[in-house]
Amino acid sequence: MGVWVREVLGWVLLGVGLAAFAMCYVVFLLNRWIIEAFIAAFIGFTVFRAGIHLLKVATAARAARDIKRELAPSGGATRKIRPILADQASGKPRRSVVPGPTSAGEPARPRR
């Protein structure tokens, strides 16, 4: 439920930021109030960026929730997980695809 709240709040903040930009033009710039327009544009930019950030966080939370469901065993039976997904979920770094030294002092890996 928290993911959807973040997403809705993100879209609301995006709309408020765009409304602030419209207010800058219609109210302030057409009346030649340059300083006030600059201040309102800065506030609108900040709110707009906050909305984009909330949308990114909601998308990342949804993706993390989906991968957690993929990796969770279902019905008490242990599911076989593809090795690539298991490595990514456990935080292990990926093996290099390019043959060669892994660091400055190590010899080159043998080709398989």
* pLDDT tens for each residue of the chain, 112 residues long: 678 899 999 999 999 999 999 999 999 989 999 999 999 999 999 999 999 999 999 999 888 888 877 776 665 444 555 555 655 666 666 666 666 666 655 555 565 5
Q: What is the pLDDT of residue 112?
A: 57
Residue 100 domain flag = no
Q: What angle do CA 49, 52, 57 make, to 5 degrees?
A: 125
Say how far apart CA 26 and CA 8 lie, in whole Å: 27
Predicted TM-score (pTM) of the model is 0.59
Q: What is the pLDDT of residue 77?
A: 47
Residue 10 domain flag = yes
What angle separates helix 2-23 from helix 34-71, to the nearest 10 degrees?
160
Joined tokens for residue 64? 């993390």
Residue 105 domain flag = no
Residue 110 domain flag = no
Q: How many domains does the chain have?
A: 1
Domain membership of residue 6 as a residue range: 2-90
- CA distances for 2 relative to 5, 41, 86, 105, angstroms: 5, 30, 27, 48
